[in-house]
Copies of this chain bind each other. A is one copy, B any other.
Amino acid sequence: MDPTDYSQVPTPDKCYVDFCLVPVGTGSVSVAQEVAEVQRLLKASGLAHTMHSAGTTVEGSWDEVMKVIGQAHTVVHRTGAVRVQTSMRAGTRTDKVQTAEQKVKRVEEILAKDGS
């Protein structure tokens, strides 16, 4: 591939990203207020998302999802955190669209056969 082409490479249309954001240097141990603020931002984004105890999974185009996680850094900085650190898992696939819900269901179906 001609290296000059790289700027034209598109980002994925669909992805899921699971992220866990940690404010650093706030002096406060609880991050519940910051997590709540991020949940409000996600709701306003209109993207499908699910919170669990170790993070939140968001689904959408790569650009939309990454934009909202970048905005999450900004809103948490605004609450007073000088540093914000986020751990993410991003997944893309070209064969089919599979929602977060379907992924869990698929595994549960396999496990359901164990007892029979």
Q: A residues bordering B, Cβ < 8 Å?
A: 3-4, 6-7, 9-12, 15-16, 18, 20, 22-33, 35-36, 39-41, 43-45, 50-55, 57, 62-63, 66-67, 69-71, 73-75, 77, 82-95, 99-101, 103-104, 106-107, 110-111, 114
Chain B residues near A73: list those with CB within 8 A: 11-12, 15, 62, 90, 92
Q: Which residue of B lies closest to A106 (CB)?
A: B32
The quantity of this chain's copies bound in the complex is 4
How many whole Å from A50's CB to the nearest CB in chain B? 7
Q: A33-B110, A53-B103, A110-B33 are in contact. Are A85 and B89 (CB under 8 A)?
A: yes
Does A27 contact B29, Cβ atoms closer than 8 Å? no
